Structure 1
Amino acid sequence: MGADMNGPQVFADRKVDRMFGQVLARQPGMVGMVAEHDGAPVNIARATADEYLLSDGPRFVTVHLVAVDVALNPFRRAKAFLTLIAALKQWAASHRASPVFFHVMTGSSLAGTDRLMKAAGAQCVGGSYVV
């Protein structure tokens, strides 16, 4: 199956730069967010609001990335994570989009991510398959 997708992933600066370049170009329905602590970035997120691909159904949000600085203590990581989730929910509401889907594919602690998502009021509605 290739590389281990369940551990922390090392950032590729060129990809982070490209992602925020797209956000800064103000593409419709796209947002990039940065959470800071003491003036330093500790968490980033990227999301898009759109309609279902094959229908004119309601708008929804797909969160493509939520990344937290794993060097932070667990309390600070959780606070940054929950703050970004709240901000993403507000952004979705401002775009008349619901629900907000988080596709969790990797993480330094999947069990911890599950606890945080539940603390934010999330519920699991599907799954991912790897072939």
Structure 2
Amino acid sequence: MELELQRKYLPEGTNGSVLHDQKWLCHTIELPWVANKAHVSCIPEGRYLIKERRSQRFGRHLILCKVPQRNLILFHAANNARKELRGCIAPVVQLTGPGTGLRSRQALKRLEHVVFSALDKGEAVYLTIKQSVSS
């Protein structure tokens, strides 16, 4: 399965949209681009394998693999990138500003449903991150 994250870079945060089969799945919020600096920047553009991970804090969740110079880049709920993220990606239903959005838990459940369905069938799932053509 291939997912695409189309990003728009803004000084206060990065907004995006995840597409599956060229159909909108959810929006995303992330930290602004700060040269891939850990804990303060979104991750670099590229193609990443998404795998399942389990932890006591998040239970069953999604992690991006082999992110250059970074680790533990997760998809998790957050509505304000600067206050709640340290490099991870938060799905949201609605964007409200640079790096901010609404109904993150709802969007996360939708994304997880699609990805876990593929993973449970043994499919590899990839996310390609790129700049939006409308940026």
Q: Shorter chain as normaliser: what TM range?
A: under 0.3
* TM, length-normalised to structure 1: 0.28
Which structure's residues are more often strand, by fraction? Answer: 2
* TM, length-normalised to structure 2: 0.27
